[in-house]
Structure 1
Amino acid sequence: MKYAIIAAGEGSRLIYEGVVEPKPLVKIGGEALLGRLIRIFKQNNATEILVICNEQMRSVHQYLLKESSTMVRTIVKSTHSSMHSLYELSKNMTGEPFVLTTVDTVFREDEFADYADTFIKSASNGVDALMGVTEFVDDESPLYVGTGDNMTVNGFYDTVPLGGCKYVSAGIYGLTTRTLETLRKCIERGESRMRNFQRALITDGLCVKAYPFSKAFDIDHTKDILRAEEFVREGGIE
């Protein structure tokens, strides 16, 4: 299975708070966020890992040169948004399902292994997208995910919808090639946010399901680095 990592953001909030390293190279448990994802993906039957980073991240380019192999490939391009980063990655994602994450997503490795296995089985049974979700809400602008029977996703919301909502997005996306047509149309319409792409999947009638992670969060501030370190100590990452 193919994997993709969006590492194109500048991490401006971390820089403002005094973090010297670019976000992809911030270390958690002695391991760079980018290196951690590459390792985890290799452990979960990766056939190819694509990473997109922006043109200003020279230290990230150097790091990836050391990782370069027939499995790990790098796209160096500055993009307008995460959706545009996905669009650049998608040009190399034809032919088989793939899993996409942002570089700063932290999750339990054992849960990810089950997620990856579940996605492959789901994709072979007609599921077009398997979105990682969590009940742990710690994002400044969470994307709420509505679910129905059998964890079928019925909506993505910027605020808690009427009737409540159990889950938020965990920044982990399992996508089949059928979703790429929806992505192309989003780009042509001038959309720029990943959440609008996810909404479009529902509008286009694709089968989108959710997979619950016990806890998942992003590294946006220095306090998140400390939280992730604690997560490591508690066994959240092997």
Structure 2
Amino acid sequence: MKYAIIAAGEGSRLAQEGVQAPKPLVEVGGEHLIDRLIRVFMANGASEICVICNEQMTAVAAHLKEIAEAKQVPLKFIVKSTPSSMHSAWELSQWLTDEPFVLTTVDTIFREKEFATYAKTFELLAQTGEVDGLMGVTDYIDDEKPLYVGTNDALQITGFFDTCELPKYISGGIYGLTPKAIPVLQRCIERGESRMRNFQRALVADGLLLKAYPFSKVLDIDHASDIEKAETFLDIKH
């Protein structure tokens, strides 16, 4: 199974709050966000890890080049600025057409044991053809603009919503997908759409079978205060 990381955001809010490192190189518990994901993905059977960073992140590109040249990680990366996370996913999709993959943004924080169970579950369901996607969700809402996830009793996803009167789950930004998702993404790009939430809506509209996989919590690193929050969540001792 492949893994993909969108590390192309500018991290402008972090910079405004005094965090000087580009977001992928922000440290949580003494470990760069990008390095944490690579380590976790390697521990969960990554056949390949594909990453995109923007053209302004010269330090990130140098860091990725160093990892790739060490040849201890099956890493591919592209340096390109894109207008949205969905466009970043499209750039990565050139490497994701031949086997199931899990895609996240670089600042996605989850418990490693939960992720390992999720990855095994998705790999099994994808191999047996039971799902086209297994999306990480959480009932912990700490997002400025959450994407609510509608499900039925079997946790099949029925829709993605900007508002919800009785929310059960929100998207955790962990997307397990089969290659069937790539043509859907292409059509979104051709229609001039953007944002990952519109891509997710298109997956449902095009009839792909998506199931929700609940995580206890999933956090994003958008503000300086989120770093300490993530370390507390992960129970990292200094």
TM range (shorter): over 0.9
| 1:28–1:232 contact (8 Å) kept in structure 2 | no
> If the length of structure 2 is used for normalisation, what is the TM-score?
0.95
Aligned to 2:131, which of 127, 131, 134? 127
Q: What is the match of residue 99 of structure 1?
A: 102
Q: What is the match of residue 48 of structure 1?
A: 48
Cα distance, 1:234–1:76 mapped onto 2, change above 3 Å: closer
User: The residue matched to 2:234 in structure 1 has which SS?
Assistant: helix
The two structures, once aligned, show a CA RMSD in angstroms of: 1.1
List per-residue Cα deviations over 1:72-93 (Å, max 9, x = no partner).
1111111110000000000111
Segments of 5+ residues of structure 1 without an aligned counterpart are: none
| 2:111–2:234 contact (8 Å) kept in structure 1 | no
Correspondence 1:138 to 2:142: yes
Correspondence 1:31 to 2:27: no
> If the length of structure 1 is used for normalisation, what is the TM-score?
0.95
Q: What is the match of residue 114 of structure 1?
A: 117
Aligned to 1:189, which of 185, 188, 191? 191
Aligned to 2:82, which of 79, 82, 85? 79
> Partner letter of residue 226 of structure 2?
D
Whole-angstrom CA distance in 2 between matches of 1:211 and 1:112: 10
User: The residue matched to 1:6 in structure 2 has which SS?
Assistant: strand
List per-residue Cα deviations over 1:49-105 (Å, max 9, x = no partner).
011000110110111122113601111111110000000000111110000000000
Whole-angstrom CA distance in 2 between matches of 1:232 and 1:25: 18
Whole-angstrom CA distance in 2 between matches of 1:129 and 1:141: 23
| 1:44–1:113 contact (8 Å) kept in structure 2 | yes
Correspondence 1:156 to 2:156: no
Structure 1 residue 229 displacement after superposition? 1.5
**Structure 1 moving runs of 4+ over 6 Å:** none
Q: What is the match of residue 88 of structure 1?
A: 91
| 2:29–2:236 contact (8 Å) kept in structure 1 | no
User: The residue matched to 2:154 in structure 1 has which SS?
Assistant: helix
State the number of aligned residues.
233
Q: What is the match of residue 225 of structure 1?
A: 227
